[in-house]
Every structure is written in C-alpha cells, then in structure tokens.
Structure 1
Amino acid sequence: KDMAGWFAEFFETLQPTAGELLSLQEEIMKIFTSSYTKPVNIMLQQLKNIATEEGFRYQEFIERTTSLFFSSPKNALLTLYSIFEKIVAQHPEMKEPCCITLCQLFLKKDESLQKKAANFISKYGNVSSSKLQETLQSYQPEILQSAQAILASFKPQSAEPHLAEEANATEDILHTICREDNRIPFPADKEDFLFQLSRLFDMEENWEIETTIAAIIAFHPQLDKEDLNRMEPIFQRAANMVANSWEPYEDLLATFLLEYQRLWAQTDNSNTGVLRNMFTRLEEKLKGIDKNRGAYDERSFKRLADWKPGYSNATCFTPIQQLWLNVIRQIKGGNSLPLLSTPTHTPAYLQATELIRRLAVYQEAGKKPCSWDFQLAIARCAMEDKEEAIVTARQLLHDEYLHLCLFLLDENTQPEPPYNHPTAWVAAGLVKAPETEFKAFKSFSCNTLPHNHLTGNYEWKEVKPKENSYETDRRLLQLDFHKWHKYIERNSHQLWQEHLIINSKYNMDDSRYMEPLLCCYPNRPEPLIAQIISNYMAFGTPQEDSKRTLACALRMLLSFHCPLKEMSLLLLSGSLLFVDKTVRSYAAELWVEGLTAGRINNRRVGEILARLINMELAPLKRFTTQVYESMYKRSAFHNHQLEELLTVFISGLPDKPVTGLKQLLELYLELLTINRSKVTNEQLLQRLQEWATNSNLKKVTTSLNKL
C-alpha cells in the first residue's frame, strides 16, 4: 500500500503534460482496478485535467469507472462527478450514458452525493427516456427524500420485465466497434516512427507493437545511415534480450528485430563495421564463453526462421513467427505493400472497408498476400457497417477477392470458386458462421481437424488431481481433443487455430503474451479461451500466473464485442467462483457489460454456475458476496437479468442445502421484492418446499413462497 501510494505521488510530482497524459490513458485506467484508494484518486485528478482535450477516451472512461462507484471514498466520487460534467459539456450525445452511470451514487447514504446525482440527471436527463426512468425506478428504495424532490419531473414508471430489447438499443454509442476515439494512429513521419521503434520493448499494448512492425515496411526505404546509428540502442537491447530473456514472446520480438538489423549489417561497409562486430560479440558470448548458461546455449541467437521457444515445443507462436518472416522478406525484396492484418481500432479490430482497400492494393500490384497475414486480417475484421463495406468491395475488388469479401460480409452469400486462398476462406467461415461446416471447404488440404477444434466448441467436465501427483488443484476442464502426438499428425499446420492446442501449461505461461494471442481472435476467441481454462482455471490455491492470466482473458473479453459462446461462458462462470477477488470483479463487470450489449446467454450462465457448485469446486459464499458488491442494483434491466440468473442457478442446486444457501436465498428475496416479482418456476417452487423442512431455511423459504 505504501509503495503504491509513493509511486502515485511521484507520478503527480512529475507534473505530466496533457500530451503525456493522453498517451498514457490505457495505463492510467488500468489503475482503476487497484484495491488502494490513493492511486485511484490521483489518477482521477490527472484525467480530470484532460477531460476536455481532444483525444480523451471518454466512452472508455465511462465504461471503466463503473466499478469505482462501489469502492471509492467521497472525494474520488466528487472527482468522477466533475469529469462527467466535462464530458457532457464537450459531447452532448453522452448525456444519457452519463446520467445512467451516475445513478449509482444513489446507493450512497450521503445526501450531498445523492443531490449532486439528482441535479445532474435533472439538468441533462431526458424526461421521456424510458431507459432512464427504468434505471431510476430500480434505485427508488435507496433515493433520499431531498433527491426524490429534485427528480419529481421524471415520474419513473413501474419497471417491466421485458427490458432486453430497449437496453440493447440504448447504448449503441458505447458498443460501436470502430470509433474515432479508439482509432489506432500510424506514425505520421520518419521521426515519429523512429521514436516509436525506440519504445518497442516498453509497449504495453499489442496493437502498438504491431503498428510499429507494419511501419518498418512503410518507412524502411526512407532511412539512411544516420537513422541507423539512432537505432543502434534498440538493436543492442534486442541482443541483450536474446542473450538473457526467458519469455518466448519477448524473445521472438527481439529475434525479429535482430533479423531486421541483419539487413542493415549486409550493407554496413564503414571502417568500424559496428553492426557486424555486434553480431560477432553476441555469437561468441552465446557459443559457450558464458559457461553459466550451460545446456541452454543451444537456444542462443538463431535466425528468425530457426526460432523456437526456449524450453518447449509449443507452436502457438509459429503463425506470428511466419508473419514476421514475411515482413523481413518484403523489406529485403523492396516490397512496401501494407500488411493486411494491422489493426485500425483498439484493441485488435480491423475496419472492413480498410481491409478491402488494402486488398485492392495487392490486387492492383498483382501480388499474393501472405497466408498468415490474410487469415489474421479476416479474423480481426470488425463485423459492422457491412452495407458500406459491401459497396466498397464491389467498387474496388473483383474475382476471388470480391467473392471472398462478399461471403464474409453478406449473410446470404455462399462460397464461390476459385479457391486460391483456401486458408483465408476457412478463416472467413469461422468468423461468419463458426457452427457451420461449409461443404465447399471439406476438400481443402488445410481442413484436416474435427471442426470443433477450430471453433473451440468442446465438451467439458471436472478434472480431479491424480493420485501421487504434485498437482493438488482440482481443474475445471479436460479438453476432449486427441492425444498430443495424434493431434500433431492430423494437423495441416496451415491454419492459425491449429497452432493453439497446447499440451502443457508451461508452453503458454501467463498474460505477458496471452494478450497478443487473444488479439488474434477478437471475433471468435473460443479456441484460446478453452486452453486458458484448461491450463489456469484451478480450484484450490492458484499460482500468481493463473490469477494474471484469467484476469487478462476476462479483460480482453470485456474489450471485445463478440457474443460469448460456451467456453467464454464457462470462463465467466468459473471466474465468478474463483478465489481471487480481482478475477471475480472482472467476471462481474463482463456479466454486466455483456448483458447490456446482448452478448451473453444469461440462462446458460445460471446452468453452468449450478453445475460448478454441484461439483463442490468452490464455496457458494464467494458468488453471493460478488453479486452484492458489483452485480446487484446496477439498473432495472440488470436486476431483472439477475433474477433470471438466480432462478436458474438456485433451481439447479443440490437437493441437500449447500453451505451459504441461506444468504443466497435472502438476496433472491430482496431482488424479487425490488422487481415486484414472485417465484413462478415449478422446479424452484419444489426446491423451496423441500428446503422449508430445514430449520435454518424455513423463514426465508416461507417468505419467498408468500410473495
């Protein structure tokens, strides 16, 4: 706590400029998950300084501050309030989202805070908005009389249970994938590029790394000997990483950069031959002069084409390695065609019209794009504004590129030959309709695995620890794919997804490169989510890497816009029961956001939770506590969704009352009272009748039956 506070004060003491703060928004907002109030307070003050600046990520700010209303002291809440004031002044279209978010202040029993929220809503709220009225209705029992008087003109109506459609339509502005405020900037000129390259190993976001690599292709023809001298520190740093790093993604990135440096070394005719000397020194060091490295000398500096992870046979990085090898080949061959897959919008989306324009450049040049690049571009394609993209495709593309884009974007278009890019066609099918096995693709040489391996649609069951094993944790998922060697035999090695089935937790490690892997699948992350569950969702005493990886996966799912399928729903449900509070908090936020955006099958979450409790994997109290802290009373809509979730969940619990059931039933009773509902589910009514014989549960079950 003291250290976190010291660094927060240090940040403040450095007096960052507006430009610096704007460039650090992602890092600053990550601090909102801190369990300490001081760093959060200081970062809110910093963001307040840039709330009126162009480039302030106001939509993301509104989304990510939701959890702060539950845990922050009054001074932080007042800062939040003043930032919301600045946002609506600059962006009038955000009035309703801000009003709805600030309703959470009514959960505080502080009259001044409640009056501030009421005044804000009275000033900026739309009296005729049914969504705002319903939200206010859900907070009615909590709103003090003085605040009620300010809100008299709103006269909220009784909440109706069928709110899903309106809720989905209301927040469209927050759920557009490609917006101006999340557009990824490309280096404006050579100076901008050189600065960006110098930060390559310090970049937090994967899209920054990818943009920099794409920029190497664009700016390499403009670079001269003086620029090379300026790049030497980053090359030297890459050499040190190859010599000392054990993190595969970092090692791969450094190897790529040294491979790029070799292109310069071949033209280094100066007297000193600085680059050649650097390679000689590095290779000598790694050939055994440094005896302490022992057996690991063999993984020393190799060419990018020969790179492998230092201590495993994992193939999950092979497609990235192949993609970067293609970048080297392009630069070497003087080919400055753009990479198709470089994302245009955070965290990893590619605008459909931009993909079409890039394909048109290849079409005009008569060049064939790299298969890995083409697959990745399709996997990242933002599935929105399809009509505009289809019009653009008809204008700019012809033959196979046109047919492929129409198949991807138009629901009614089927595959049409020729199929000169079979892996791209399969990738398009997996984005468009993952449940469908297209007959046209069955004969492709790349289509060798059972379809569910590519979609991540696995059966799951609890995995109990083996006897006499050092692993004591019970795990949540045993994937049903073939034994590793049999899988390798059947793998065509041509599809990006085929490289994801990983036979060991240690081949995957933690969130340092979990994010780059997830960023390959913003539309359909299920195959990788299945791997994460299989390797990291352990119920017992999890390691730190498990906590980091699960939190990273949930955070990435929060930033994506895809519907959550079975594996993601299993990750969400398991995380709501996980021992680590940060993981549970992310899961709760994913539930809230996912329902608002229409991404979640709520009933299925209830069924999975019941099944996990029946497996006796975790205490029920963890879930009940998390619901009280961050899922209950979020809005009228969410209260009705929570009622549906709990109805399914409680109906599926064991006949014999589990520990903590009384608290869950008391929460359910409160929720039904607020929603003005009663128990109608036949299975649940029968359960309540059985549990009424238990003296500890008799009072709450009787109250539920009387509603």
Structure 2
Amino acid sequence: MSTVLHADLSHFIEQGMFDQTIELFKTLGDKQRTGLRSLVKKLVKYYSEYEQEEGTNRWSSRGTPEQWRVLHIASLFCFSKRDIKRMRTWGYKIQDVERLLDFYVPEGFGEILNEDAQDEQLRYGITYPWMLSLRDRGILDPIPEMIVRTLLKLPEPEGLRLYQNGYDMDNLREYPEILGGHIWLLFHYPSNINFHRCRTEKGEDETWVDIFLHLVERKDIDRGRLLSECLSALNQGFNKLLSGWMVDLFESLNPTKEELLEMQADINATFSCGQSKALSRLLRLYKGICAEDDFDRDGFLDNCPLLLGSETQTVINGTLAVLEGLAKRHPDRALEICGIVADLFANKKATIQVKVAKLIAKHSPAEVDEELKGTLEPFAQEICGDARNILSAYFSEEIEALPEEGNGVLPSSLSDENRIEYPDDIDSFVFFLSQAFDNHTPYHVDVFMESLLRFYPLLKAKDLPALGPALQRAHKVGGDFVNSRIGYCDKFMAYSFIDYTKMLCERFADDANALERINKKNDDPNDKEKGGWRFTLEYLKFSQEHPYLKIYRKRMLEMLTFVREETYLPLLSSPTHKPSWLEPAVLIDRIKLWQKAGKDIGQMDLETAMARTYPERSEALVERAGKELEGQASRLLAYLFSPEEKDGDIVKKGGAWSTVTITRSEPEIRAYEFGVEVRRYNTWNAQTKTHEMKPYEYKILKLAGVKHGYDGKKTNLPFKEKSSDVFYSALGLSRGDLYTLEADTERYLTLAPNRREELMATLVIALFRYSDLTGEASESRIAQRIADQMLTYANEPIKGADLLFLAGIMTCPDKTLRAMAVAIWERAVYYELIDDGAFGQVLGAFYAAEFIPLKRFTDLLSSSMLHLSAEKNIALGNTLRVMLANLEDKPVKGLKALLEIYREFPRKEADEVLNEKFAVWNKTASLRKVLKALTEQEPVQI
C-alpha cells in the first residue's frame, strides 16, 4: 500500500494534478500522511535544483509552476512545523491552501503565520479578510504585527493598472474591526506605512495620510485621538522615516492652538524620543503657542536640559526660539531661562554660543547678576570671542590659559616594545594556531608562516591531536565566503594549514588518524575537476584577479615547498617589529644562514623582506653585508643600506633589483612605470559627472524617454595599468578590489611599509573616488581598519596620502570614523608626527574643490578639536592658517563659519600672507563683517 501511495503522489506531482492530489489526501490518516514526508522532501529537493534551459544561457529550477502548486500543498499536508518553515514562502495561492484547510490544518499553521509576521513577512500571501476568516475558525490568533501588515494592503486595488484609481476607502469600512480598533495598531507597531502609496488618475500620489484625512473628514475616527496617537507613536522606538511620517500626518491635520495647548503633556512626552527631525518640527509648533497664557511653562522648562543637550543644531535652535518667546512674554522667568541656556556654552559651535549670548544679554538684568555670573564662569575658556564680547560684563579680561600637556616621545619602530613575539615551544605554537585564523593582527599571517616552518621538524606524534581544533577551524574558514571578517589571506592560511596537516599525515602515517578523519570529512574529491576553490592552495584561482594576493599566495607556496624539502630555515620576510618592520641586522643574519646551508632563497620571500627592511642607512651595515654575505645578496643589501644617493635607473634590471631600488627611492622613480605613483599619474582634481535616470511613468506603465540628470563630484584620478610582474607591480588596486579587500586591508598596507605612501594612495583613490564614503558599507569599514592601524602602529611621521586620508575621514558621514580622525590628529600632535602646514595644504586642496561640504569640517572643529590643550590649539591654528591660504579666490560654501572659528586663534605676523586672500573675499557681502574683525580687531588670546 505504501509503495502504491508513493507512486501515485509522485505521478500527481510530476503531472501537476492538483485536484487529484487533494482528493488523495482526504482519504489518508495521520500514519499515512507522515509516511509520505520523506518522499515529499526528496521531491522538493529534486524539483528545486537548477538546470540550464536547452539552447539558452538561462537557468531555472526543475519544477514547473503546476508541479510546485502540488508540492506546496503536499508539503503543508505532510511536513512538521519545522519543515514547513524551511519551505519557500512564495508561489502559494490562498484558494489552494483553503482547499487543504477544509479537511486538515497543518501543524503549527497559525504559529508559523504569526512568527513570519514578526519577521516582516506575510506567508502564503495572507490578506486581511483571510486573516479574519482564519481567526473566526480558530485556526489563527493574529498578533498585532500580523494585523498591521495585512491592514496596510487592504485599501490597495488589485492589479497594477487599477492603481490609477487610487485607494479604495470602502474596504476600510467593510470590516468593523478596523475602525473599531485595528487601525490604531498602526501607531504602536513598526511598519512601512510611510512607503505605501497609490497613483490617482491625475498622476498624483495618494498615501495613508490621505486615507486618515478622509476618515477624519467623514468622522469615521476621532480627530483628537488621531492627533494623540501620532504623538505617542514617536515614543515607540520607530525609525526616523516612520517617525517623520507620523509628524507628517500630525501636521497635515493642521492642529489649532487650542488643540496644541490641550496636548502639551503628549508633546512634552515626545522630547525624549531621540528623533531630531520630528522634534524640530514640533518645536516650531510650540513657538507659535509659547506666548499663550495656558502654555505649560514649567513643563517645557523642565525638558529644556534634554532638548539643549541634543547633538542636532535644529533642535537646539528650535528650543532657543521657544525660550526667547517665553523670556519676552514672562520677564519674571527671564533670569531662570538665562541660567538654563548658560549650559549651552559647553557646546563649542560659535553660532550657538552667539545666540545664547544674545539671549542672555537681552533678557538678563541691567546690573550683573552674581548668581548668573557664577553659572557662566566655568565656561570662560569655552566661549568664543563674539560671545565673550557680548557678555563682557560677566567675564574678566584675563583668561586662564589652556593647560599645557607637553609632547610625548614614542619608542622607536625597532624598540623592544614593538618587537613581535613568535611561539617558542609546542604549547605556544598550538595556542597560536587556535586563533591564527581570526585575523587579530596584521602580522599574524607572517607569524603563521614562520611558525609552521619552524615547528614542523619538532612536532611529535603525540602532538598531532592538539592540532585538530585548528584544522577544523581551517576547514570552516576555507569553506566560508570572503566577508568583513574573513579575507583571502585567511583562506590562504586555511588551505596552507590543510596542506601542512596532510604532510604530517604522510609523515606520521600510523598516528595521524584524528587529522585524517577531519580532512576526509571536509574534502570534496570533485573540487579539483571542477576547478573549485576548496581543493588546495595550489588550485586557488581567485588570487589571479587581485594582484596583491599573488605575493601572499606565492610566499605560502614557497613556505610549503621549504617544508617538503626539509629546509627548516627562518623566512627572510618574517617581520621582527610591529606592524611589519624587519630589522636590517636580522636580515643579514638570515641570509647568512641560508647561504651557509647552501639553499636557494625564495624569490618572493627575498623581495618581501627588502620591502620591509627598516630604512637604516649606514656604512657599518654595508660593510657587514659585504663581509658576511656572498654573491648577488651581498650587492643587493649593500645597495639597500648605502647612505649614498643611488641611481634609480638600476630598477631596469628587474626582479630583486627593481624591488630594492624602489624600496629605498625618495620620493618616486621616474624610470619605472609603477602603477601607484601618486604625483606622476594622479591629478587630485575634481570634475562634474552627470548621472542619468529614466522616471517610471505610471499612466503608460513604462520608463519615460525623458532623461533627468544631476551633477555630482567625481575625482579625476586616472589609474595606470600595471606593466610588470615584479613585487611592487602587484600592489596596485582598483575600486572594484575594495569589495574583497576589507578583511585584508591591514595586511595589504604591511606588505611594504617603506612605500606606505603609494599603498595608501591606491586606497585613497579607491575609497574617495566618489567623494565621501557614502557608497558601500564596506568602504567605511575599510577606512575604519586603516584608521585603527594609524592609531595603533603609527610611529613614523604622517605625510602624503596618509594626510589626505585623514582629511577625508574627518568629514565623512560615519561618526565613528570622524571620532577616530580626531584621535589620530590628537595623537599625531602630541607625539609630533604631523606637520601642521602640510596638513593645512592638504585640507585647503581638499575643500577648495568643494569635494566634501566644508560645514562638516567646521562642525567637527567646533565640537571636538577646539581648546583641547595649549599645544593642540597652536597646532590647529597653524593648520587653519595654511588651509585658508590654499583655498580658492572664489569663496567656498561654509567659509564664513570657518573664518569665525579662525578668529579664536592668536594671530602672528605670518598671517599677513592672508591679507591678499582676505581682500579678494571681502567682495562677498556676507564675509565682510568677519573679515573686518580678522584684519582690524585684536584676537582673543586663549
């Protein structure tokens, strides 16, 4: 009987016989139903497989729509709740599911529908009417999220063309549950109501705002409750788009003064919602009623510290506007209001401080109030010059100087503090392997290669089981896709270790069963034939697409070759100091060992070592290399360590000579076509690029032929094609490489620390090609990795492309990056790693083209960089002076705010170089006042 049943169901599915399948299911009991489960699972897997359509390049699943129609119902009938949830959710028809529900309710059917609704899905195309039907039959107890998601689609007409008729309002009145309570759930549970819209015959958008206005006009719902629900929705934790929509609806109802006064408690309750745009709009409404006698002054003043502490200037400005009105209308509360706004002097933005100063000066008593003076005194160092002049009566002429913190001294790059530790016994080797694939530090990959080679001859049979966890981790990393945590280098390491353990299995044939089992469990014998990525390091094909990866791949292949050949000598390129510096004396010692053993040095190992050798030039090193080394190695190192200037044309010899010449060259090599030469090929100009789009025309239901364009900034940074196959030619990057570089960013930068500027240039070109990291999220994460490396390992002066990168992240949209940029600048000033003038030149060039809005920079200055210490203030003043001198004669947008900030710094005689620039800018009316103050008034000494 079971065999016949299986054959019948297989036949019905193959032929797409839906009605016959339903009739068959009606005759089956629970035991027969569950007995079909394994068959249906096999058929689902079979029909889900993709195959190429004959004679085309198209691929599609094996199952036809008719076959899937039967499979969907069969899965609902036979599967458990867990298996049903794993099935795809599309392709079902309500009428088909209803045919099944007539005689059988699938296991956990209602729970599945509710769980999917919580995950923002509507399984089986469930609609509001069907939800009510399932509820009435006891099949479903709908949760609020389910009600909200089905209700949103109810007014929408069926069929795209009918959208031209707008929403069907009658659908909302058909079910008493909607206006009786369900509609208010829209204000208590998250949804995408702000995106729902229909097109009317006039070509206009009709939204749920129009629906609510229509319902209020018809008196189907209470207007007062709707206003109150809009406000309460702001405290439900909705995102800014949905919160903004709630305020849109609130404002569309045009609340009267009487209604606003009546709802003051509800409005005050929204001040803690954290949605700045929504709060700004509500504060504008408050401004219109703050002069009324019934305005809740105490309630608003109690909330002012919260509002004035906002990071958003529009919220602060809105609050100040209301307080201004209150102080004017109620003079008896003016002194109290002055005390409240005084805390805003902690905000370093000059525009805000001036507004606060004017409010206090206007509404404070004619005679100096001692209590208010005591409130203001702690902010003496924080107040800008204009605000201080306005409130001069409250401050003494002498200002306490900023604290001096002095300058720090960093340990040298080759100090013991920066020395890299390598495993020194089997236990530490095993411990290192347990975390080697987690990308903790950029030099882990180098420690990994050195350790594998060093400990191979020391491993005993008893040590092999301890390698099992690391081997399992290697297979896991090797099988995962490249992502923000796992890079190609991690995959290289994983497959190197897998190959390494296979060699151990050959060496300890009778004692490596544990490692053998792990490898056999994870190996796919078909991968080699498929050209797949899970076979061995030798068969990895994707490294060909990313040239810089060739270096790591070749180094690992060389290391495995040394293991096979039993050449257990230290790798030349293993760094000795963080992040990847190689001590010159150690390089000589290592080459000496190789020459003494009579072994051939790996080409990529040698070139990487020279690219990492710390730039210590001395005759002593030259003499030692000449005495202790032989042949070409002796000549290469003598050239590398020589303190004399060398002819760059020697690079034409190619190979290791190219690498050693480029490594020691300053600042570039004209004879060598290096793909990342900053000054020669990159212009750092900006040009306008027009993007075109075709709007969708709803009336004719197709893309319109009219093109609309907008102008945006794009850097003109032509990229030279790589022309050679030596070490440095593999270090070029394109923008497309960013999507796979993320987890390998630090490793890329540590390949050649001697030429960091060129490596950074390639990254800056790719990251900032379209302005300010507003594209892929991976770009911001890559920038964070670079910034973190600069904070952690930067012992050398910050210059060139590093300065350009620092300027870029100072004003990018990412708050974390901006904070890191300030931290990098503070550290660089403290340890004297940055040239103030050079940084000013970079900033001037950066903003002269208006590549990024200047306002972001001035906001960062005001909030995070002013008055940190005496030394930092001097450094910042020097930087701004040079920056202003390098701006264009045509004033950039936001220049006035920058000039206001510059007024806070002591002027020097060198400022005279700006007079000509100021004279040109003085032709712009909006700048004349601040320019006059700069040229004629004595600056405030802070």
Question: Which has the higher mean CA deviation after the structures are superposed, 517-526 or 417-426?
Answer: 417-426
Q: 1:185 to 1:391 in 2, by over 3 A?
A: farther
* CA gap 1:545/1:506 in 2 versus in 1, 3 angstroms: same
Equivalent position of 1:55 in the other structure: none
**Residue 215 of structure 1: how far off its partner (Å):** 1.3
Which runs of 5 or more structure 2 residues have no equivalent in the other structure? 1-345, 348-376, 381-397, 695-708
Write the distance in 1 (CA, Å) between the matches of 2:899 and 2:576. Answer: 47
Contact 2:572/2:605 (8 A) holds in 1: yes
Change over 3 Å in CA distance of 1:454–1:370 after alignment to 2: farther
2:686 is the alignment partner of 1:462: yes
1:330 positional shift: 0.5
Aligned: 1:688 with 2:918: yes
Query: 1:209, CA displacement in angstroms?
Result: 3.2
Question: 580-589 or 317-326: which moved more?
Answer: 580-589
Displacement, 1:345?
1.3
Match 2:465 to one of 204, 209, 229 = 229
Q: CA separation of 1:242/1:556 partners in 2, compared to 1, >3 Å: closer, same or farther? A: same
Q: 1:418 to 1:570 in 2, by over 3 A?
A: closer
Secondary structure in structure 2 of the residue aligned to 1:184: coil
Other-structure match for 2:661: 429
Q: Are the counterparts in 2 of residues 207 and 348 from structure 1 also a CA contact under 8 Å? A: yes
Q: 1:397 aligns with which of 619, 629, 632?
A: 629
Change (3 A) 1:459 1:371: farther
Which of 506, 529, 538 in structure 2 is aligned with 1:266?
Answer: 506
Q: Secondary structure at the match of 1:284?
A: coil
The structure 2 residue matched to 1:583, chosen from 793, 812, 817, is 817
8 Å CA contact retained: 1:523, 1:560: no
2 CA distance for matches of 1:348 and 1:616? 37
Q: 1:695 and 1:408 mapped to 2: Cα distance?
A: 59
Of the candidates 878, 885, 896, which is equivalent to residue 644 of structure 1? 878
Corresponding residue of 2:289:
none
Provide structure 1 residue ranges, at least 5 long, that are not aligned to the other structure: 1-69, 72-107, 112-139, 157-166, 289-295
> 1:619: Cα distance to partner?
1.8
How far did residue 340 of structure 1 move?
A: 0.9
> C-alpha distance in 2, partners of 1:474/1:252?
40
Aligned with residue 842 of structure 2, among 595, 605, 608: 608
Partner of 1:313: 545
Cα offset, 1:517, TM superposition: 0.8
Q: CA deviation at 1:200?
A: 1.3
Q: Does 1:663 align with 2:897?
A: yes
1:256 Cα deviation after fit: 1.3
Q: 8 Å contact 1:341–1:373 — kept in the other structure?
A: yes
Question: Quick one: structure 1 residues 425 and 635, their matched pair in 2 at CA, closer, same or farther if it must change by over 3 Å?
Answer: farther
8 Å Cα contact 1:238/1:257 also seen in 2: yes
Aligned 8 A contact 1:407 1:413 in 2: no
Structure 2 vs 1, CA of residues 502 and 657 (structure 1 numbering), >3 Å: closer, same or farther? closer
Q: Post-superposition shift, 1:596?
A: 6.0
Counterpart of 1:244?
A: 480
* Normalised TM-score (structure 1): 0.65
Q: Secondary structure at the match of 2:573?
A: coil
Shift of 1:179: 1.4
| Greater Cα offset, 372-381 or 297-306 | 297-306
How big is the shift at 1:519?
1.0
Encode CA deviations 1:609-633: one digit per residue, 9 max, x unaligned: 2333232222212212333445444
Deviation of residue 371 (structure 1)?
1.7
Tell me the equivalent position of 2:575.
Answer: 343
Q: Deviations over 1:26-71 (max 9, x none)?
A: xxxxxxxxxxxxxxxxxxxxxxxxxxxxxxxxxxxxxxxxxxxx99
Q: Within the alignment, does 1:331 sit opposite 2:563 as a pair?
A: yes
Output one character per residue of 1:345-396: Cα deviation in whole Å (capped at 9) or x when no partner.
Answer: 1111112221221122122223332121112212222224846645654553
Alpha-carbon distance in 1 for matches of 2:790, 2:680:
15
Give the SS at the match of 1:554.
helix
2:436 aligned with 1:212: no
Among 493, 504, 521, the residue aligned to 1:253: 493
CA contact 2:420–2:577 (8 Å) conserved in 1: yes
Shift of 1:663: 2.2
Q: Deviations over 1:542-580 (max 9, x none)?
A: 332111211222333452344555433322222233222
Counterpart residue type for residue 705 of structure 1: T
Q: Separation in 2 of the partners of 1:539 and 1:209?
A: 33
Equivalent residue, structure 1, for 2:586 = 354
Larger radius of gyration: 2
Change (3 A) 1:436 1:203: closer
Inter-partner Cα distance in structure 1 for 2:635 and 2:649: 8
Residues 570/220 of structure 1: CA separation in 2 closer, same or farther (3 Å cut): same
Structure 2 distance, partners of 1:549, 1:456, is 26
The answer (yes or no) to whether the contact 2:650–2:657 under 8 Å persists in 1 is no
**Structure 1 residues 413 and 670 mapped into 2: Cα distance closer, same or farther (>3 Å)?**
closer
* Equivalent residue runs for 1:32-431 within 5 Å: 141-143=399-401, 171=408, 173-246=409-482, 247-270=487-510, 273-284=513-524, 287=527, 298-309=531-542, 313-384=545-616, 386=618, 389-390=621-622, 392-393=624-625, 396-412=628-644, 414=646, 422-431=654-663
Given that 1:509 and 1:545 are in contact with CA atoms closer than 8 Å, whether structure 2 keeps it comes out as: no
Q: What CA distance in whole angstroms lies between the structure 2 residues aligned with 1:318 and 1:279? A: 26
Query: Aligned residues, how many?
Result: 525
| Counterparts in 2 of 1:454 and 1:513: CA distance versus 1, 3 Å | same
Deviations 1:66-120 (A, max 9, x none): xxxx99xxxxxxxxxxxxxxxxxxxxxxxxxxxxxxxxxxxx9599xxxxxxxxx
Q: Which amino acid aligns with 1:218?
A: R
Is contact 1:430–1:455 with CA below 8 Å preserved after alignment?
A: no
User: What is the identity, as a one-letter code, of the residue corresponding to 2:933?
Assistant: S
User: Is the partner of 1:186 in helix, strand or coil?
Assistant: coil
Q: What residue in structure 2 maps to residue 534 of structure 1?
A: 765
Q: Work out whether residues 551 and 583 of structure 1, in 8 Å CA contact, stay in contact via their aligned partners in 2.
A: yes
Amino acid corresponding to residue 197 of structure 1 in structure 2? L
SS in structure 2 of the partner of residue 266 of structure 1: helix
- Cα distance change, pair 346–142 in 1 and its aligned pair in 2 (3 A): farther
Counterpart in 1 of 2:81? none
Tell me the distance in 2 between the aligned counterparts of 1:320 and 1:313. 14
1:703 aligned to which of 906, 922, 933: 933
Q: 1:457-512 deviations in whole A, cap 9, x for unaligned?
A: 63333365563489999676444234xxxx36x33x222x2122234424653531
Separation in 1, partners of 2:895, 2:499:
60
Distance 1:662 1:572, change over 3 A: same
Structure 1 residues 203, 618: CA separation in 2 closer, same or farther (over 3 Å shift)?
Answer: closer
CA distance in 2, matches of 1:634, 1:567: 26
CA distance in 2, matches of 1:305, 1:531: 28
Shift of 1:661: 2.1
In 2 relative to 1, CA 469–360 (structure 1 residues): closer, same or farther, beyond 3 Å? Answer: farther
Worse overlay, 515-524 or 626-635:
626-635
Whether the aligned pair in 1 keeps the contact of 2:504 and 2:512 (CA below 8 Å) is no
Q: Deviations over 1:199-255 (max 9, x none)?
A: 211341022332132011111101122212211221122122222333423222211
Displacement of 1:419 = 10
What is the identity percentage for the equivalent residue pairs of Structure 1 and Structure 2? 24
Partner residue in 2 for 1:47: none
Question: 1:516 is matched by which residue type in structure 2?
Answer: R
Instruction: State the SS of the aligned residue for 1:462.
Output: strand
